[in-house]
Structure 1
């Protein structure tokens, strides 16, 4: 059985700017006068892990903060914003998910974000994608190492009973591409609005919309 593996929340709905807004609101809630403008945030997206970004930014400013607490506030804020203004699926995602399911292809969301954020996204997109659009949801609570480690992809392949060569990943960030390739999975780069300038060199292809037929053509490109 083949599988299509969406690698992050923003491969399904572009929430990158919503995430940045949530960070800035969290900083204010914690009494910090920080503001990440778009250029600053874009530069940070070459690495994975929101709490790590907060900690690194604090070190660069010589400030001691509880990065985990700030990131928890950010995630709570993100979910609230998501509920208040549900995003639209990205181009081609609803059609491709439907076509895959009709064709007997497994569809999974393979992230290392929190289970609460994953659940909030799936709920927000229910009107467009249906009640159970994914055969498997992977979050950070299910794997020992976050991306760019390949653990999340190896976990997904094992749970789905799918060989790496029978899967294709869709990723919007460099760390995600690295994780999929480490697990032996071919990758289609699908940049979000804030990662469009990044170098997705190891990806087999870069696209601006998702189409089921071309995705299937990448199966077997795991070398």
Structure 2
């Protein structure tokens, strides 16, 4: 059963972008003379909160020093951070192995493509433009990003939003994720889910995923199978996805 649509998360899934996000947050804090710097262990914990504005708000709850003057500026700080992030991405961003290949294969086969992410739309546009070129957004039939739904992952809202606009049942689609929150959101919408853990999500709980793989694989660089379907394959292809769905 060839899927009718492939639905991709963005950060950590399409590309390893979380370090750029962390850098942009820290540069913003420094520019605003705020006494915070998120190191990698702290950022890993903060990633349990989906959404940049929500992440800042969560952090402020535990930071009495300077928090009072920043709490009313969350949207402003996030906007400044987004500007820094998009500039970093534009300077050079590469997709994870197999992503561009699978997107090309899907387009050639008439399989629809969609985005389901909690990151803001300018971040999506910057990454896709830098990695796939001008007009990359038109490759996707539906883009669900940022605040288009009231509840962010692990709530299933963003996937339900995308499915409604694709006008397809969840059983005909496959989601691609990298985190526990993402998997919970996709499974909550009834989607078979392929997981490629990122640098901040290795060791997360991916219970219920159809397959857990190091990446989507390339002819010269096969993926490493971690769990679930895909042990006998070397790349995520439409044919492989069809076989995995049928055997699930």
TM-score if structure 1 supplies the norm length? 0.90
Structure 1 alignment gaps of length 5 or more = none
Is 1:216–2:245 an aligned residue pair? no
Q: Secondary structure of 2:200's match?
A: coil
Larger RCO (CA under 8 A, 6+ residues apart): 1
Q: Once the 2 structures are TM-superposed, how far is the Cα of residue 176 of structure 1 from its aligned partner?
A: 1.3
Counterpart residue number, 1:45: 47
Counterpart residue number, 2:139: 133
The alignment of Structure 1 onto Structure 2 pairs a total of residues equal to 221
Counterpart residue number, 1:86: 92
Counterpart residue number, 1:147: 153
Q: Structure 1 residues 129 and 215, CA, compared in 2 at 3 Å: closer, same or farther?
A: farther
Q: Secondary structure of 1:28's match?
A: helix
Q: Once the 2 structures are TM-superposed, how far is the Cα of residue 221 of structure 1 from its aligned partner?
A: 8.3
Residues in 2 aligned to 1:90 and 1:208: alpha-carbon distance in whole angstroms: 10
Q: Structure 1 residues 128 and 171, CA, compared in 2 at 3 Å: closer, same or farther?
A: farther
Q: Structure 1 residues 149 and 182, CA, compared in 2 at 3 Å: closer, same or farther?
A: same
Q: Secondary structure of 2:61's match?
A: helix
Q: Once the 2 structures are TM-superposed, how far is the Cα of residue 70 of structure 1 from its aligned partner?
A: 1.7
Residues in 2 aligned to 1:99 and 1:129: alpha-carbon distance in whole angstroms: 18
Structure 2 alignment gaps of length 5 or more = 217-235
Q: Which of 22, 27, 30 matches 2:29?
A: 27
Q: Judge conservation of contact 1:94–1:128 (CA < 8 Å) in 2.
A: no
Q: Judge conservation of contact 1:189–1:207 (CA < 8 Å) in 2.
A: yes
Q: Structure 1 residues 220 and 129, CA, compared in 2 at 3 Å: closer, same or farther?
A: farther
Pick the structure with greater CA Rg: 2
Q: Once the 2 structures are TM-superposed, how far is the Cα of residue 54 of structure 1 from its aligned partner?
A: 1.4
TM-score if structure 2 supplies the norm length? 0.81
Q: Judge conservation of contact 2:52–2:119 (CA < 8 Å) in 1.
A: no
